[in-house]
Structure 1
Amino acid sequence: MALDFSGQNLRGRNFKGRKDLAGANFSYADIRGANFTNANLTGANFSHAKAGLQRRWAIGLVIISFLLSGLSGFLWAVNGYLVSLIFSSSSNDQIGGWVALVTLIAFFFITIRQGIISGLGAVAFAFAFAVAATVVATFAVAGLAAGAFVVVAAGAAAVAFAGAAAAAAAGAAAVVGAFAGAFAVAFAVAPAVAFAVTAAFAGVFAGAVAVAAAGAAAAAVTGTLFGIYISWRAMKGDQKHSLIRNIAIAFAATGGTSFRGANLTNADFTQATLKSTDFRNTILICSRWHQAKMLDRVRPGSTYLQNTQVRQLLVTGQGQDKNFYRENLRGINLKKANLADASFIGADLSEANLQDADLSRAKLKQTQLDGTDLTGATLTGAYIEDWGITNTTKLHGVRCEYVFMRLPTKEDPDPLRKPDNKQEVFADGDFADFIQPIFDTLDLYHNQGVDPRAVAIAFKNLAENHPEAELEIVAMEKRGDDKILLRAKTAAGSDKSQLSAEYFDDYNQLKALSQSQQLLLIEKDSYVSDLKNMLTTALGQPKFYTQGDTNMSDISGINIEGSSNVSGIAGNNSIANLGNISGNVSIALTQLPDATDAEKPGIKELLSQLQDAIIQSTYLSEEEKAEALEQVKALAEAGKTPQESTKQKTAKTAITMLKGIFSGLPAVASLVEAGNKLLPAIAKLFSLG
């Protein structure tokens, strides 16, 4: 039974590493400062819970922020003093003052435009230059240079001091401002408090420097305002100042609620207050964040919570027209979210919860949806080009009137609407039936010079070589003038990379065969002939796309082993004298060694039996017998060195050709029986079976 902590005061409690919290109820509980590190919180309920810092930690952090504010004011006052040297009677001091002013202005400008890192980098460059110039000045004082070097050194030194002080002051002020901004939200401490402390310190220091009190005070005020502005931009999510924001949030989360490394799969944080909470390295699969408060003040680590736009989507459920290009949204919970017209091109939505979500007209091109739950989702008008659904994608109850198989382009304004008839729509449940065949498919893309006969034979061979893959053609699409995509459904777990490589190896070899040789393989096979005709039709149309029932599903039941290779083909297309051909076969057979074991026939004995069966067949024409004997001769030539790869390829081609010739014979023919017995044994001797 799940534990119930609802409504309890759990401040500072230690649940670290506990594995018995799955499904626990923490709703309305006060979990400020609680430690859930590495705990198993699968399915836990944290709705309306209050996370964050305990009061004593909040007071301690505020005190530290005040101290940093004082340091900031002191450093800005130093910068004010250096700038006030402009009004000094000494020309060297005036140069230093102007250099300090220019350095500060450049620092302000670069930081605002490009961020604190760029600003500090510019000051560091000035500091390096000043150090080098100071070294030169040292030698000048020793008499190695003119007195003018002293003036340059003095100015450079002023740059160094002003730059270093400016960098320290701006950095401290920005961080302090960020802390102040964070604490203002977290603890109701107004930014004005930090500003007041800063001004007080600035006033003290300015009083000590009577020569430039007004300048120091002005610089302190300006610097503090600058720090507050930078911190405000950082806490608003400005990426230029992300360093400041990350430091401030990490600082403010010290001592707060920790879920670091916890398993929060299916956990519910609906309307929970989550400021100063640590979610680093957590498992957040399908966690719910609807109307969660202060989700932008958590420490997200590398989870999807680090993205500002994603956080807003999780809290509000409103993602219409938003762009999530290539975002890693694996395991995100967007149940009932409004995602109409949103773009998820290249995004990873695997294992996400999209139940009842509105994905009307959403761009799902190349979107990964492995294990995604789309139950009850609306997909009307969605663009599903090359989307990554699998047999674990849940499509039960999907609402969809029509989809587009491609994104529209200038070159192709027709994005392949399905159903094709624009007056038709999918009936309830039809979309799942339409898309079901391509859950796990093998895509065979032919990009030049498509040979329909070679495609048909190669696919037939592949289906028979791998019956466990349960290959079944489910879609065919013409792309461009001479490109075609053949899509075949496969069994779960099939190695599609291996299947594709084997198919194209076979296809490329078959393309090299003459037309007459290809015809011998397909003329008596209605399945191959049907597929070849369909491909020919597709290539002859301006546009062609078919999916679903292609009347080719029975291809998966064809049984042909081996793949073709043109290497070492011995035959030709002429009608030769059958006796001469048979004699040539006999000569080739005499060159093979006899079997060492009389009970285990070798290649010579098996091929002799096959030769006799072909000659004695009453079902083969003279031309067919001649072609069959040419293949036997090829096998005999290859049998001299049966373990060489080139000879094995020759043997595979010959066996494939023989099976094609035998495939049209009646089942009662003695040659069929002989072929079924002899060909597998011959293939085994060539290490092909």
Structure 2
Amino acid sequence: MKIYQQDIRGQTYLSHILIKQNLQNTLGGQKFIPKTYISIISIVFAVCLSIVNLLASGVLAAIHDAFDVNYFYLLEINTILLYTIALIILGVRGFQVADTICVMALIVTGFVIYVCFEANSKIFGIGFWLFCLGLSIALGWLGAIITAFFIAVSSIFNGVVGEFLAIVAYGITTEALITGGLSVLSRKNPGDGIIFLIGAIIIIFSSAIIARKAIRGSPKFSWLKETSVFWTATGGTSFYKADLTDTCFDNAHLPQTDFREANLTRTSFKNVTGLEFSRLQGTILENPRVRKLLVTKVGEKEDYTDADLKGANLTKAKLKDAILSGINALDADFSGADLSGVCIQEWNINKDTRFTNVKCSHVYLKCTKQGDRIILTERKPDSGEFKDGDFEKWITKLQDTVDVILKGSFNSRALGISLNKAAIEHKELDQSRYSVESKGDEVYVVKVGVSPEADKPAIHQTITNYYYNELSIQGERANILLNPSKEVEIMKNKNQISAGGNLDMSSGNKITVGGDVTNSNLTLADANSQVSNSIQQLRDISTDASDELANILTTLQKSIVDDSVLSESQKKEALEAVETIAEEGKKPPGERVNKLCSLALNALKGITTAVTDASKLAEVLKNCLPTLTKILGI
């Protein structure tokens, strides 16, 4: 038997400040006497409520008596079979609304038929049978849940032994009541005793299955486990709303302990036992997978996408090749942990997240799930491996962000363009590291990575200006689609659109703006990168049409970049047209703006007609155009 250094069973630390306390090898939970009292009370309640089991079996027996038979025949066999199936369904599916409605329908239908057609004639028929069957199932479910609750309580206190003894005790009690209290009825009709016995046994076995599932953490019976834990933890060790920052519980045994709403920032739970039978609401321990990670410190190749690890103590944790995408790791401690090969896409960290002496050869900035496969991309470092201490330095630089609040309908394309343009003006901006969070009511927070020396206010203003400017440009394009005649006017005046001036409305025939229709501020490399991203997103949809379209657009992209005949501005304009087709291709056919696709194809055709036959783009477009128009439905 393990000897614990400290015994805090039954102690209450309500809202106490217990920062940096050493509670290693501690025994918590219920003291022996309160535990005994609760166990006895549970048994007494179980014995008293076993009457529900008898009522369920009694209603089954009523069918046998009503039809006045001495031996089993098809009706009794079917009744017991349906009753058994109903209790099995409860054990497998848990309480489901549809199942409950079916049972209630049986009771109501049977009652109506009996009252309307059978009561006056005093002849029992289908109505009486349906009513009794539905009522017996309802009582059987109630009896099974009650019995399962007390079996779970006994199991939490005394483990498998307590669970076994509870099942045996309830079985003996029920059978004793059947044998003794109903002996007269059994002598009158021998078949009744058999039905009582079968009905009770089915309930007890169903209860044992339900209790076992609840104890093991089945989501279908989580409410039953929570109720059992509440009952057993009453009077146990309580850290309710206590501040346990940096406290160590390593190797402790803490069943029936109340941790609700406690501050568990960097609290260590290595090798702690009994937490699955404690009250953990409002803490990161509430998630079984997170709880297991904090206790074992082993999570290699596990997927923790979007897990709440806020303040988690993961010192020396083995997390090699784990997926940490989207996790909340604010104030978490990864000191000494092995983070080699992890994916950190959109994880949430801050300056108080610790990475001291982390072991890490490389990480991935993005991961894409395709069925059961996870595709990792954007490896850092791009080549080679992090040396000792390099990861901590690198991640520290990445922790600085600029938060941009965007209002209205979110436009991912406008954001991508604004980040590309802002990155050209501000070298401190890392456009590959950003996340978007919806706050509701069409309010979005975009977090963009920057270096520590960045001018955050200037970057914030630049991104905001470019984003809303791009929205305005896209709005004008949409207006052109709705009013095709305006396209001609714009094309006539295209030679009058220049870059670098101010808006001048003094002349109705001359417009001077801060950029032209080909986005002169965008480099050819940036435009090519945007097209590659759009095509990759199109491939991720994984349909035959999207794959074929992606292959065609990739061919077009390569022909544009490699075309020595095209000027740089023509290449950028052609790439923009390809990107437009890719963006529309990602949408379901019914949601595509066909006029945008047509406009993009016309732009490509216009570019090829302005150059010689030696153009690679002209040759590729000629071959791909029939298939392209067919896929796009234009």
TM range, normalised to the smaller chain?
0.5 to 0.7
Out of 124, 129, 150, which is 1:176 matched to? Answer: 150
2:354 matched residue in structure 1 = 373
Pairing partner for 2:523 from 511, 515, 535: 535
Q: Give the aligned partner of residue 90 of structure 2.
A: 111
Quote the offset at 1:185 in angstroms. 2.8
C-alpha deviation, 1:112, in angstroms: 2.3
Q: 1:143-169: CA deviations, max 9, x gaps?
A: 6xx777x52332233124312321221
Aligned CA distance change for structure 1 residues 88 and 409 (closer, same or farther; 3 Å): closer
Find the counterpart in structure 2 of residue 417 from structure 1: 379
Deviation at 1:539, TM superposition (A): 3.9
Tell me if structure 1 keeps the 8 A contact 2:358–2:392.
no
Partners of 2:358 and 2:315 in 1: how far apart? 9
* Aligned amino acid, residue 229 of structure 1: I
Distance, in Å, in 2 between the alignment partners of 1:339 and 1:228 is 37
Alpha carbons 2:362, 2:385 under 8 Å: kept: no
Aligned equivalent of 1:280, options 224, 235, 260: 260
Residue 172 of structure 2 is matched in structure 1 by: 199
- Call closer, same or farther: CA 1:77–1:313 in 2, change over 3 Å: same
Residues 1:55 and 1:536: Cα distance change in structure 2 (over 3 Å): same
Q: Give, as a single letter, the amino acid of the residue that structure 1 aligns with 2:137.
A: G
CA contact (8 A) 1:86 1:98 kept: no
Residue 200 of structure 1 and its aligned partner are, at CA, apart by: 2.8
Give the alignment of 1:233-632 within 5 angstroms: 233-370=213-350, 371-385=352-366, 415-420=377-382, 422=383, 424-431=384-391, 434=394, 437-442=397-402, 447=413, 472-475=427-430, 489=451, 494=457, 499-505=462-468, 517-518=498-499, 535-539=523-527
The match for 1:101 is: 80
Closer, same or farther: CA 92–307 of 1 in aligned 2, 3 Å? farther
Of 127-136 and 53-62, deviating more is: 127-136
Q: TM-score, normalised by structure 1?
A: 0.58
1:406-462 superposed Cα distances (whole Å, 9 cap, x missing partner): 669899989343444x4x44444444555555433459999489999x987x789xx
RMSD between aligned residues: 4.4
CA contact (8 A) 1:262 1:282 kept: yes
SS at match of 2:523: helix
CA distance in 1, matches of 2:145, 2:432: 60
* 1:118-129 pair list within 5 angstroms: 118=96, 122-123=99-100, 125-129=102-106
What whole-Å deviation, never above 9, does each CA across 1:209-239 have from its counterpart, x for those lacking one?
2233333233323322221222112111222
Shift, 1:338, TM fit? 0.5
Contact 1:83 1:98 in 2 (8 A): no
* 2:442 paired residue number: none
> CA shift at 1:78, angstroms?
3.6
Q: Provide the C-alpha distance between the structure 1 equivalents of 2:42 and 2:401, rounded to a whole number of angstroms.
A: 59
2: distance between equivalents of 1:65 and 1:517?
Answer: 85
User: What secondary structure does 1:338 align onto?
Assistant: coil
> Cα distance, 1:475 vs. partner?
4.2
Mark the structure with the bigger radius of gyration: 1
Given that 2:298 and 2:318 are in contact with CA atoms closer than 8 Å, whether structure 1 keeps it comes out as: yes
Three-state SS of the structure 1 residue aligned to 2:6 is coil
Q: Is 1:65 equivalent to 2:39 in the alignment? A: no
2:196 is the alignment partner of 1:213? no
Give the SS at the match of 1:383. Answer: strand
What does residue 211 of structure 2 align with?
A: 231
Give the fraction of aligned pairs with identical amino acids, expressed as a percent: 21
* TM-score, normalization by structure 2: 0.63
After superposition, the Cα gap between the structure-2 partners of 1:438 and 1:534, relative to the gap in structure 1 and judged at 3 Å, is farther
Separation (CA, whole Å) in 2 of partners of 1:510 and 1:127? 60
User: Size of the alignment, in residue pairs?
Assistant: 468
Summarize the Cα distance change of 1:169–1:100 in structure 2 as closer, same or farther, 3 Å threshold. Answer: farther
Residue 138 of structure 1 deviates from its aligned partner by: 2.9
2:159 alignment partner AA: V
Change (3 A) 1:317 1:501: same
Between 342-351 and 282-291, the greater mean CA deviation after superposition:
342-351
Distance 1:488 1:510 in 2: 27
Mapped partners of 1:92, 1:351: distance in 2 = 73
Residue 156 of structure 1 aligns with an amino acid whose one-letter code is: L
Q: Which runs of 5+ in 1 are unaligned?
A: 1-7, 9-26, 386-405, 464-470, 480-484, 522-527, 546-689
Distance 1:164 1:544, change over 3 A: closer
